[in-house]
């Protein structure tokens, strides 16, 4: 099994690298063959990636999210899945040139530094509710990441249109309406998943960590949930749209990443399973 | 020789070769084209003929199987259109063989058109094919030539960007609308000005499925006329304020000396529209929209200069696609000429099999055999003949793709088996 994991840890960055190249060629050269092949290659790589995480689960005998790099590989998979679903829904492969290289970077880092010999004995890590909590949290944050990238694409096209530039961004990106729809749907998906993650986490922690609400990461998740919920409400009720929504989702995601890094550095949390 | 590529001929004129007055003289209307094709087929000893005739070009194609020449084709066209051979011959280009095939394929892909990559020409080639079928003037070669040209045109449009991007101001405005709004069906457009440009804009929006169309004009009567034509709703200029808050797309094309839309008017409308995206295309000269409107959030103001810039960019991109289209043309020309060369082998294959089969049956008939013995001999000799012919047949089929070597091989097989030289044109069942 060790050998199979090592083999996949080498293969996955190569596969994501090639898929990234295909998506870059689709965007910059609009190659019709690559346009058909890129999503299929991504789907194949996702299956390999899911196999990799399955093998890690068998190897560690627990959900593989105890260390940063284990979480990073799970996050990469979630990001790739959320993007592929969005691509299928929208029918345009031209936005993959931003997403797939990001997945490639995350997965390369994860594969380079993942420690197969780490031993963590926690009953909690084997619970199915914990699995649900982790999976929904990762999908939620991936949704926010995807939403932020669509927000960025919206701003890029918006600026091109305002400045009367009709280059490759004008040519390849879908309409502002479509980008705004993807931006909104991904944020809604993220919020829904985060809600589930918070519910599953709370349910599970009632017995194990009775003072779970004192944990900084719990607070961070609640603040993130509240901020995105206010944004979604403003969109529905207050007519927030276009650039306002796009800038908000970008700023929201940047804030989430930075506060996550800050919390990890400055505070102790029961979410760190290596302690 | 049969199926020699040199037998594929064309003569024609286009916008580069002749002035519009001359092109007008030799343009064919559909019924006239049918009559000409029938006369041409008779005049060229039953050769396949077809014609492409648009406002920018008239091209006459023929497949020579009976010793006709380019000169014969030219003479026929000149007589039909009453041309002066001495004066008008210079307006025509002539191609033969591979170049003639290439010319039709260049036309079908749009790279020979006045507006590079224009899509309508493929429809003209389809019409040429229909006309030749209707007038019964195109045989298997002519039909295959046209069908391959149509496939070549389709491939060029699907595999390259030769026909992509707007090439007129009205289309550029529609292209901008599509870049902002995913679907025009739930959208409202306001066209201000019912003159020639406004009419074109309204027609284009209607063709592209705009949901609601408002037509504003100083004269309500003209607004009504255009609204009737485009299934729109006429309004007076005094209702502009109200219409603006309903519209997602505004196209202005008036000759007003002062701007008719200022920033405060648009700001008010945007407030009512909850700051949703608003596309304003100002095609008027002098401009109809105050330039300060461009600074309002979620408003996209474009004018005639920006639309022209888009058109030029599209043209540049189409030019960059020409080498890709030429590669497709080369592939399709090779494929067509391979098929055409294959027509040489078909009669030899048929004759060889027929001659040996006759010989076999004669020998069986001559032998004194009982019915059972005859049946057995028939089976054995038929199997033997198939085995003997297997290798020569394979060589014959290969010969179709080997050019001059193939022609020599065909001749050698004719000599060895004592077959007569061909004198019939290729038949559809030979293919």
Q: Express each pLDDT in A135-160 by its tens digit.
A: 888 889 889 999 999 999 999 999 99
Looking at the complex, report in whole angstroms how far the Cα of residue A38 sits from the nearest Cα belonging to chain B. 17
Q: Which of A164, A179, A234, A245 to mutate to test the interface with B (most CBs of B within 10 A)?
A: A164
Strand partners of residue B96: B9
Q: For residue B279, what are the CA distances in angstroms to A196, B164, B176, B235, B427?
A: 40, 22, 8, 20, 60
Q: What is the pLDDT of residues B236-246, one digit of tens each?
A: 988 999 999 99
A234 to each of A185, A192, A237, B15, how far by Cα in Å? Answer: 15, 16, 5, 59
Cβ contact, residue pair A177, B176, below 8 Å: no
DSSP B25-77: HH---HHHHHHHHHHHHHHTTT-EEEEEE-SSEEEEEEE-SSS--HHHHHHHH
- DSSP lists the bridge partners of residue B282 as B252, B303
Answer whether B245 touches A (CB < 8 Å).
Answer: no
Residue A274 has pLDDT above 60, yes or no: no
Which of B276, B229, B231, B224 is CA-nearest to residue B250? B276
| Contact indicator for A173, A94 with CB cutoff of 8 Å | yes
Residue B424 has pLDDT above 70, yes or no: no
Per residue in B301-331, pLDDT (tens digit) is 999 999 999 999 899 999 999 999 999 999 9
Q: Which residues of B touch A157 (CB under 8 A)?
A: 179
Q: Please tell me the predicted confidence (pLDDT) of residue B250.
A: 96
| Cα torsion B243, B249, B253, B257: sign | positive
Partner-chain contact B276 A174, CB within 8 Å: no
Indicate the length of chain B as a whole number: 431
Contacts of B211 in chain A (CB under 8 A): none
- State which residue of chain A sits closest to B296, comparing Cα positions: A162
Q: What does the longest C-alpha to C-alpha distance in chain B come to?
A: 111
**Which of B183, B277, B294 is closest, CB to CB, to A242?**
B277
Distance from CA of B95 to the nearest CA of A (A): 34
Average pLDDT, whole number, for chain B?
Answer: 88
CATH number for the region B5-165+316-338 comes to: 3.30.460.30
Residue pair B194/B225 in contact by the 8 Å Cβ criterion: yes
Q: For B10, left (φ over 0), alpha (ψ -120 to 50), or beta? A: beta
Q: Is the pLDDT score of B400 beyond 70?
A: no
Contacts of B314 in chain A (CB under 8 A): 166
Chain centre distance of CA B231: 32
Burial code (b: 16+ CB inside 10 Å, e: under 16) for A216-229 equals bbbebbeebbebbe
Rounded average pLDDT over A123-129: 69
How far is it, in rounded angstroms, from Cα A255 to Cα A235?
20
Q: Chain B: nearest CA to A237, how far in angstroms?
A: 11
The residue annotated as part of the active site, out of B1, B42, B55, B316, is: B55
Residues of chain B with pLDDT > 70: what percent?
94
Q: Nearest residue on chain A to B295, judged by CA atoms? A: A162
Interface test with chain A among B154, B174, B277, by most A beta carbons within 10 Å: B277
Question: In chain A, which residues have their Cβ closer than 8 Å to the Cβ of B300?
Answer: 161-162
Residues of A in contact with B163 (CB under 8 A): none
- Indicate the residue of B181, B298, B310 with minimum beta-carbon distance to A166: B310
> Could you give the CA distance from residue B262 to residue B287 in angstroms, rounded to a whole number?
11
The pLDDT value given to residue A233:
85
Q: Is B183 on the interface with A (CB under 8 A)?
A: yes
**pLDDT tens-digit readout, B98-127:** 999 999 999 999 999 999 998 889 999 999
Interface subset of B 257-296, CB within 8 angstroms of A = 274-277, 294
Distance of alpha carbon B327 from alpha carbon B398, whole angstroms: 25
Q: pLDDT tens digits for B272-287?
A: 988 889 999 999 888 8
Distance from CA of B333 to the nearest CA of A (A): 22
- C-alpha A142/C-alpha A136 separation (Å) is 10
* Chain A residues touching residue B208 (CB < 8 angstroms): none
Residue among B182, B275, B294 whose CB faces A177 most closely: B182
Q: What confidence tier does A120 reach under pLDDT thresholds 50, 70, 90?
A: low
Residues 6+ apart with CB under 8 A from A39: A84, A87, A88, A93, A96
Measured at the alpha carbon of residue B176, what is the angle toward residues B173 and B182, in degrees to the nearest 5?
125
Query: Least CB-CB distance to B182: which of A157, A162, A175?
Result: A175
Average pLDDT over residues A18-26: 93
Closest C-alpha to A13, from A86, A94, A76: A76
Judging by beta carbons within 10 Å of its beta carbon (0-12, 13-18, 19+), is residue B219 exposed, middle or buried? exposed
Closest among B272, B138, B245, B131 to B190, alpha carbons compared: B245
pLDDT at B225: 93
Residues in B closer than 8 angstroms to A175, CB to CB, are 178-182
N-terminal to C-terminal alpha carbon distance within chain B: 17
- The closest of B49, B53, B25, B29 to B39, measured between CA atoms, is B49
The predicted structure's pLDDT at residue A123: 64
Q: For helices A243-266 and A128-162, what crossing angle results, to 10°?
A: 140
pLDDT of residue B419: 77
In tens, the pLDDT along B338-377 reads 888 777 777 777 788 888 888 899 988 888 888 888 889 9
Range from A25-29, A217-221, B386-390 carrying the lowest mean pLDDT = A217-221
The phi, psi pair for B62, rounded to 5°, reads -145, 150
Strands across the sheet containing B8-14: B48-53, B57-63, B8-14, B93-96
Task: State the burial class of residue B201 (Cβ atoms within 10 Å of its Cβ: 0-12, 13-18, 19+).
Answer: buried
Please tell me which residue, A253 or B419, carries the higher pLDDT value: A253
What value does the mean pLDDT take over residues A17-29? 92
As a whole number, mean pLDDT of residues B285-296 equals: 91
SS3 B345: helix
Which of B107 and A210 is assigned the larger pLDDT? B107
- In chain B, where the domains are located: 5-165+316-338, 169-297, 345-430
Whether pTM > 0.95 for this model: the answer is no
Q: Which residue of A has its CA nearest to B300?
A: A162
Whether B152 is a known active-site residue: answer no
Nearest-by-Cβ selection for A175 from B179, B276, B298: B179
Average pLDDT over residues A242-249: 89
> pLDDT digit string (tens) for B171-205?
899 999 999 999 999 999 999 999 888 998 999 99
Residue A93 to chain B, least CA–CA distance (Å)? 16
How many other CB atoms sit within 10 Å of the CB of residue A202? 14
Q: Report the C-alpha gap between A122 and B77 in whole angstroms.
A: 93
Within 10 A of A182 (CB to CB), how many other CB atoms are there? 24
Q: How many CA atoms within 13 Å lie on the side-chain side of B358?
A: 6
Q: Over 90: is that where the pLDDT of A238 sits?
A: no
CB–CB contact A243 B298 (8 Å) = yes
Residue B294 has, within 13 A of its CA and on its CB side, a CA count of: 16
Q: How confident is the model at residue B426 (pLDDT cuts 50, 70, 90)?
A: very low
Nearest beta carbon to residue B309 from set A161, A164, A244: A164
In B311-408 the beta strands, taken as DSSP E runs, fall at none
Q: Which residues is B235 bridged to in the sheet? A: B216
In chain A, residues with a C-beta closer than 8 Å to the C-beta of B172 are none
**Across the strands, what pairs with B212?**
B188
3-state secondary structure chain A: CHHHHHHHHHHHHHHHHHHHHHHHHHHHHCCHHHHHHHHHHHHHHHHHHHHHHHHHHHHHCCCCCCCHHHHHHHHHHHHHHHHHHHHHHHCCCCCHHHHHHHHHHHHHHHHHHCCCCCCCCCCHHHCHHHHHHHHHHHHHHHHHHHHHHHHHHHHHHHHHHHCCCCCHHHHHCCCHHHHHHHHHHHHHHHHHHHHHHHHHHHHHHHHHCCCHHHCHHHHHHHHHHHHHHHHHHHHHHHCCCCHHHHHHHHHHHHHHHHHHHHHHHHCCCCCCCCC
The number of beta carbons lying within 10 Å of the beta carbon of residue A234 is: 15
- DSSP-derived pairing of the beta strands B93-96 and B8-14: antiparallel
Peptide bond before residue B286 is cis, with ω within 30 degrees of 0 = yes
* Pairwise CB contact (< 8 Å): A242 & B179: no
Contact of B180 with chain A, judged by CB distance below 8 Å, is answered with yes
Which of B182, B297, B314 shows the shortest C-beta gap to A243?
B297
Backbone angles phi, psi at A97, to 5 degrees: -65, -20
The residues with which B189 forms a beta bridge, in sequence order, are B213, B249
* pLDDT score, position A31: 76
Judge contact between A107 and A12, C-beta under 8 A.
yes
| Chain A nearest CA to B256, separation (Å) | 24
Which residues in chain B touch residue A181, judged by CB atoms under 8 angstroms apart? 182
Given a cut of 60, is residue B429 above it in pLDDT?
no
- Are B181 and B137 within 8 A, CB to CB? no
CB burial readout B102-129, b (16+ within 10 A) else e: bbbbbbbbbbbbeebbeeebbebbebbb
Say if the Cβ atoms of B181 and A177 lie within 8 Å.
yes
Chain A interface disruption, residue of B159, B163, B171, B179, most A CBs within 10 A: B179
The CATH-assigned architecture of domain B169-297 is: 3-Layer(aba) Sandwich (3.40)
Higher pLDDT, A273 or B289: B289
pLDDT at residue B256 above 90?
no
- Count CB atoms within 10 A of the CB of residue B402: 16
Contacts of A154 in chain B (CB under 8 A): none
B98 by DSSP, 3-state: which? helix
Determine the pLDDT at residue B7.
84
Give the residue-averaged pLDDT of B159-165: 90
Alpha-carbon distance of A146 to B298, in angstroms, equals 23
- pLDDT tier at B431 (50, 70, 90 boundaries)? very low
Residue of A nearest to B294 (CA): A162
Residue A235 has pLDDT above 90, yes or no: no
């Amino acid at each position: 099994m060790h050998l199979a994991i090592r083999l996949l840890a080498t293969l996955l960055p190569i596969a994501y690298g090639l898929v990234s190249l295909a998506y870059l060629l689709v965007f910059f050269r609009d190659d019709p063959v690559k346009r058909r092949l890129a999503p299929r290659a991504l789907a194949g790589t996702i299956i390999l990636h899911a196999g990799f995480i399955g093998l890690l689960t068998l190897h560690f005998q627990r959900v593989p999210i105890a260390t940063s790099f284990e979480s990073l590989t799970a996050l990469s998979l979630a990001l790739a899945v959320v993007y592929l679903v969005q691509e299928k829904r929208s029918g345009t492969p031209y936005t993959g040139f931003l997403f797939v290289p990001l997945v490639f970077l995350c997965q390369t880092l994860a594969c380079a530094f993942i420690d197969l010999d780490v031993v963590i004995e926690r009953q909690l890590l084997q619970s199915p509710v914990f699995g649900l909590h982790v999976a929904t949290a990762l999908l939620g944050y991936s949704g926010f990441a995807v939403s932020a990238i669509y927000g960025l694409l919206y701003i890029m096209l918006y600026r091109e249109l305002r400045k009367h530039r009709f280059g490759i961004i004008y040519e390849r990106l879908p309409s502002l309406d479509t980008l705004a729809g993807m931006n909104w749907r991904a944020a809604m998906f993220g919020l829904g998943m985060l809600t589930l993650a918070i519910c599953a986490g709370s349910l599970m922690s009632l017995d194990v960590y009775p003072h779970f609400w004192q944990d900084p990461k719990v607070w961070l998740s609640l603040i993130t949930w509240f901020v995105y919920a206010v944004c979604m409400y403003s969109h529905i009720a207050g007519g927030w749209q276009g650039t306002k929504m796009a800038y908000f989702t970008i700023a929201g995601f940047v804030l989430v990443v930075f506060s996550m890094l800050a919390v990890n550095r400055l505070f102790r949390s029961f979410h760190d399973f290596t302690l | 020789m049969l199926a020699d590529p040199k037998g594929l001929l064309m003569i024609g004129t286009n916008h580069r070769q002749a002035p519009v007055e001359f092109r007008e003289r030799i343009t064919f209307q559909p019924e006239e084209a049918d009559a000409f094709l029938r006369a041409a087929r008779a005049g060229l000893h039953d050769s396949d003929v077809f014609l492409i005739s648009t406002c920018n070009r008239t091209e006459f194609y023929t497949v020579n199987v009976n010793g006709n020449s380019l000169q014969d084709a030219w003479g026929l066209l000149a007589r039909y259109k009453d041309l002066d051979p001495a004066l008008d011959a210079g307006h025509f280009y002539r191609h033969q063989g591979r170049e003639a095939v290439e010319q039709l394929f260049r036309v079908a892909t749009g790279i020979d058109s006045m507006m590079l990559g224009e899509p309508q020409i493929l429809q003209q080639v389809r019409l040429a094919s229909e006309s030749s079928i209707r007038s019964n003037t195109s045989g298997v070669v002519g039909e295959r030539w046209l069908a391959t040209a149509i496939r070549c045109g389709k491939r060029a449009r699907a595999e390259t960007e030769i026909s992509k991007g707007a090439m007129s101001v009205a289309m550029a405005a529609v292209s901008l609308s599509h870049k902002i709004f995913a679907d025009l069906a739930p959208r409202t457009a306001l066209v201000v000005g019912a003159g020639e440009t406004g009419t074109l804009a309204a027609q284009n929006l209607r063709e592209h499925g705009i949901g609601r169309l408002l037509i504003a004009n100083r004269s309500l009567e003209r607004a009504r006329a255009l609204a009737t034509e485009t299934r729109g709703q006429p309004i007076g200029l005094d209702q502009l304020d109200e219409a603006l808050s309903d519209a997602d797309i505004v196209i202005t094309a008036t000759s007003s000396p002062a701007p008719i839309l200022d920033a405060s008017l648009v700001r008010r409308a945007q407030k009512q529209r909850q700051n949703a995206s608003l596309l304003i295309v100002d095609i008027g000269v002098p401009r109809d929209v105050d330039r300060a409107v461009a600074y309002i959030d979620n408003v996209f103001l474009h004018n005639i200069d920006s639309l022209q810039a888009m058109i030029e960019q599209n043209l540049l991109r189409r030019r960059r696609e020409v080498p890709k289209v030429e590669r497709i043309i080369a592939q399709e020309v090779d494929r067509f000429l391979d098929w055409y060369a294959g027509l040489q082998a078909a009669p030899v294959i048929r004759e060889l099999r027929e001659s040996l089969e006759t010989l076999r049956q004669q020998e069986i008939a001559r032998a004194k055999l009982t019915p059972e013995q005859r049946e057995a001999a028939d089976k054995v000799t038929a199997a033997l003949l198939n085995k003997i012919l297997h290798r020569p047949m394979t060589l014959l089929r290969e010969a179709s793709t080997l050019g001059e070597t193939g022609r020599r091989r065909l001749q050698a097989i004719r000599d060895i088996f004592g077959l007569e030289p061909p004198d019939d044109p290729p038949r559809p069942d030979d293919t």
